[in-house]
């Protein structure tokens, strides 16, 4: 399976926070012949890859398993599902979207426009006014298909756009998972660790415990980040641009990155002719926020795939940027392990 088809397969698996099992089993099957892998109490996969050489510094690469979703909090007498979000999803993204709970499909609805007041029509509906319609006739009928606490995902599918773009749910962070799988399957210059972690979307949960176990000297977080390279956005408002290479962060809402390591990553990309860009806005957050604070601290860098419409059923990213993520992750891993940065 080539990298594009691997990414396609990963994106099509439903694995919202707390329900990562299907994706975890898929990944374990993919990597089990190439490394030593175990699953910890949190549900993280911690993999050790034996390389040709013993590293001077221990390096860990991380990608999170989970995607955003919705959780059923109540069921009305008429059979509509009330819900909350699992992870950060904007209200406007939820409206009229299809979701699924296993084999049960539904659509997110709101108060009909012709029943809305003039003021209501000028504003987005509040998220707690939305509901999921699964076609149930009443509450008892709905309970034949779903239960309180069930977690669902967007019901969408992978599609290729133009020559190099793809559209899918869960590009965040199946691009990171696919990159780690590819690195684990290939011959390695140095020993390294790869962690596939749970619960990033609900507070960087799994990365904290996985890092505590591995105790790396350096870590590389592989992630997707929001690209706003759209009409009406200019300069720093674009954050980063789809197709212009992998994005490297100097700061986000969870981490202020080591400046020397940031420069090292940029220079490594330049020296190896790998397409890269600076993420030019302080937005978002990822597992680096938990990783760098673990035990006595870890020097960490984040490589992010720019994605339009992130945390939606139709995130758009570039296969060229995806390729650049793998290239830069590999050379950074080797450089850090060899002691080129200290």
- Distance from C-alpha of 1 to C-alpha of 66, rounded to nearest angstrom: 22
For residues 251 and 279, is the Cβ–Cβ distance under 8 A?
Answer: no
CA distances from residue 74 to 17, 85, 148 in whole angstroms, order as listed: 19, 13, 6
Domain ranges of the chain: 3-67+169-338, 69-154
The matching CATH number, chosen from 3.40.630.10, 3.40.50.150, 3.40.1210.10, 3.10.450.50, for 3-67+169-338 is 3.40.630.10
Catalytic residue among 200, 201, 223, 241: 200
- Distance from C-alpha of 303 to C-alpha of 325, rounded to nearest angstrom: 7
Q: What is the pLDDT along the chain (342 residues), one digit of tens a residue?
A: 799 999 999 999 999 999 999 999 999 999 999 999 999 999 999 999 999 999 999 999 999 999 999 999 999 999 999 999 999 999 989 999 999 999 999 999 985 554 445 455 555 666 678 999 999 999 999 999 999 999 999 999 899 999 999 999 999 999 999 999 999 999 999 999 999 999 999 999 999 999 999 999 999 999 999 997 775 556 556 789 999 999 999 998 889 999 999 999 999 999 999 999 999 888 888 999 999 999 999 999 999 999 999 999 999 999 999 999 999 999 999 999 999 997
What token pair was written down for 248?
A: 């490297």
Per-residue confidence (pLDDT) for residue 114, from 0 to 100 = 43
Which of 95-124 are b and which e, b meaning 16 or more Cβ less than 10 Å from the residue's Cβ?
eebebbbeebbbebbbeeeeeeeeeeeeee
Helix axes 3-11, 319-338, angle to 10 degrees: 100
User: What does the angle CA 253 – CA 257 – CA 260 come to, to the nearest 5 degrees?
Assistant: 160
Q: Which fold has domain 69-154?
A: Elongation Factor Tu (Ef-tu); domain 3 (2.40.30)
Helix (H) or strand (E) holding 336: helix 319-338
Per-residue confidence (pLDDT) for residue 229, from 0 to 100 = 78
For residues 341 and 184, is the Cβ–Cβ distance under 8 A?
Answer: no
Per-residue confidence (pLDDT) for residue 276, from 0 to 100 = 97
- Distance from C-alpha of 49 to C-alpha of 34, rounded to nearest angstrom: 7
Is 189 a catalytic site residue? no
Give 198's DSSP letter. Answer: S
Please give the distance of CA 237 from its chain centroid, rounded to a whole number.
Answer: 21
Residues 6+ away with beta carbon under 8 Å from 263: none
Q: Rg (Cα) of the chain, in Å, rounded?
A: 21
Q: Are strands 218-226 and 315-318 parallel, antiparallel or unpaired?
A: unpaired
Residues 6+ away with beta carbon under 8 Å from 134: 79, 81, 101, 104, 105, 106, 142, 145, 146
Per-residue confidence (pLDDT) for residue 97, from 0 to 100 = 95
- Coil, helix or strand for 39? strand
* Confidence (pTM): 0.94
For residues 184 and 62, is the Cβ–Cβ distance under 8 A?
Answer: no
For residues 3 and 178, is the Cβ–Cβ distance under 8 A?
Answer: yes
- Distance from C-alpha of 23 to C-alpha of 209, rounded to nearest angstrom: 19
CA distances from residue 23 to 12, 34, 156, 170, 274 in whole angstroms, order as listed: 10, 18, 17, 12, 29
């Amino acid at each position: 399976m080539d990298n594009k088809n691997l990414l396609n397969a990963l994106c099509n698996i439903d694995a919202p926070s707390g329900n990562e099992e299907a994706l975890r089993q898929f990944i374990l099957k993919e990597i089990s012949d190439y490394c030593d892998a175990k699953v910890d109490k949190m549900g993280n996969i911690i993999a050790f890859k034996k390389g040709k050489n013993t590293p001077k510094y221990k390096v860990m690469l991380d990608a999170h398993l989970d995607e955003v979703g919705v959780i059923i909090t109540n069921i009305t007498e008429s059979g509509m599902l009330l819900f909350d979000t699992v992870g950060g999803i904007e209200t406007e993204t939820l409206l009229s979207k299809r979701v699924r709970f296993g084999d049960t499909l539904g659509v997110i609805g709101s108060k009909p426009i012709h029943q809305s007041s003039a003021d209501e029509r000028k504003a987005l509906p509040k998220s707690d006014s939305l509901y999921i319609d699964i076609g149930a006739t009443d509450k008892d009928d709905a309970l034949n298909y779903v239960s309180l606490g069930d977690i669902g995902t967007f019901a969408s599918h992978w599609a290729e756009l133009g020559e190099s773009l793809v559209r899918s749910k869960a590009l965040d962070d199946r691009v990171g998972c696919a990159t780690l799988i590819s690195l684990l399957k290939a011959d390695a210059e140095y020993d390294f660790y790869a962690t596939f972690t749970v619960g990033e979307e609900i507070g960087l949960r799994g990365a904290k415990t996985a890092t505590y176990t591995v105790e790396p000297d350096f870590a590389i977080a592989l992630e997707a980040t929001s690209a706003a390279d759209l009409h009406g956005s200019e300069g720093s408002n674009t954050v980063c641009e789809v197709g212009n290479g992998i994005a490297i962060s100097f700061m986000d809402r969870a981490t202020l990155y080591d400046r020397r390591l940031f420069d090292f990553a940029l220079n490594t990309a330049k020296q190896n002719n790998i397409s890269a860009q600076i993420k030019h806005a302080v937005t978002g957050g990822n597992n680096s926020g938990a990783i760098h604070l673990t035990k006595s601290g870890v020097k960490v860098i984040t490589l992010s795939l720019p994605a339009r419409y992130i945390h939606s059923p139709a995130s758009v990213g570039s296969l060229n940027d995806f390729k650049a993520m793998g290239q830069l992750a590999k050379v950074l891993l080797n450089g850090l392990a060899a002691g080129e940065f200290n």
